A and B are shown apart, each in its own frame.
Chain A
């Protein structure tokens, strides 16, 4: 599932030069990690809805959920 998640992230955020292997599971996706920003966070919320049918209504909660591949996959598992 984490593999598929990374593929989705790369597609939705147009990270053409990033490989799945470059993204570590516990790495922070935002700030110093993968360098994503607040607009990327909104795009990931769209991805969660379209790919996993999970709606994140509060963008500030989104920050915690979308912290890393690990936190996202945990949230998906808990909310499927």
Chain B
């Protein structure tokens, strides 16, 4: 059995360090990321090369690490759909402008820079991996943590950033121009040490979102449950008919591949305020379904 022992997030609603009652002030019109003063969370000398996505990740990870003080971090598992977009952009501009481009943005452009930098800063020699399948990155990362041995705790993170280029290009697409793009980071400490939030099950499927209802049914049935055992379904655009209660978390965080991380934050807060079980549904990509089942333990 695995539990979520701690979480932290950077999003449009709840600045880091996250407050306990942040669900009470959810505002659908908040669509700018609330960034912390990174110097409060990360040592100065370490900050200098880091892009926004790396700073967000480090700050959130540090928060979880502090909460888990004295416990052994066994590994770092990251999910990111677009990876380090800003450094990718920087290197692309540099390589088209100069014969000798600057190396730092190149080194920081690959998806695994996040997990790599965290491993470096936290001096963690353990398991270190990056899931990058666009739609169900976070669910794959959580499933990965779920399957790890019961020794120490795993830092699981979901993060994506947006850049101006992305915004401009989306606006030019006839299919996507009305999409409100978001960005954000959510990090969890996952272990077998009991806490009030149990990670009951996780599923990641390469299945059309048109088959969401049957996929949810199968998933719950495998856990000897059905929809009436779930108090709240949190989704990012496709709800589940017959659910007791539903909420679209994407309205509060914008669209990005790993936004089910924000959905899980909402779920955790809902459990802490009295619900027994929540299901977080992720259909941000139409051919992938991610499901996270959380229980108040």
Contacts and interface: CB of A to CB of B under 8 A. Distances in A.
Contact of A15 (B48, B102, B103, B107): B48
A13 B100 contact: no
Interface in A59-76: none
Nearest to B101: A46
Interface in A7-44: 12-17, 35, 39, 42-43
A35 B45 CA distance: 9
B44 interface: yes
A16 B47 CA distance: 9
A10 to B, nearest CB: 10
B104 interface: yes
A17 B49 CA distance: 13
Nearest to A38: B103
B100 A46 contact: yes
A13 B45 CA distance: 11
Interface of B: 44-45, 47-49, 98, 100-104, 107
Interface of A: 12-17, 35, 39, 42-43, 45-46, 49-50
27 contacts: A12-B102, A13-B48, A14-B48, A14-B49, A15-B48, A16-B47, A16-B48, A17-B44, A17-B45, A35-B45, A39-B49, A39-B103, A39-B104, A39-B107, A42-B103, A43-B102, A43-B103, A43-B104, A45-B100, A46-B98, A46-B100, A46-B101, A46-B102, A46-B103, A49-B100, A50-B98, A50-B100
